[in-house]
Amino acid sequence: MFPGRQFPPRRPRIRENVNEAIRAREVRAVFPDGTVEVMPTAAAIRKAQDMGLDLILVAPTAEPPVAKAMDWGQWQYEQKKKQQEAKKKQHVIQVKELKFRPNTDDHDYQFKK
């Protein structure tokens, strides 16, 4: 380490919108068996943990917020894949440059096009 050099302290990564980090009083909980219930957040977390899953807030702006019971690692993986697919679908148009000279014929132009 270099003397006199200060590094900011590392903060632990907080899992946003997962389990106890959900601040809403009530959530619309979606469970893997297809049931959808509006229930207090604590009860939804307890029910998800009984199934061995995490409660993840998927639509925080909805009224009441929508939370889904699923595995946190699986959800992260799916989000990463969605971002990669969106990045692939971005299409950058590349503009070709053509130089015309007095001797350029129509066939040469069609070939370069």
Does the residue 10 lie in any domain?
A: no
Does the residue 73 lie in any domain?
A: yes
Task: Please give the tally of structural domains in the chain.
Answer: 1
Q: Which domain holds residue 33?
A: 19-89
Contacting residues for 96 by C-beta, under 8 A, at least 6 apart: 112
What's the DSSP call for residue 18? B
CATH of residue 38's domain is: 3.10.20.80
Residue 48, pLDDT score: 94
Does the residue 98 lie in any domain?
A: no
Does the residue 11 lie in any domain?
A: no
Using only C-alpha atoms, the chain has a radius of gyration, in whole angstroms, of 27
Does the residue 30 lie in any domain?
A: yes
pTM confidence score: 0.64
Q: What is the pLDDT of residues 70-100, one digit of tens each?
A: 999 999 999 999 999 998 888 888 887 877 7
Q: What is the pLDDT of residues 41-66, one digit of tens each?
A: 999 999 999 999 999 999 999 999 99
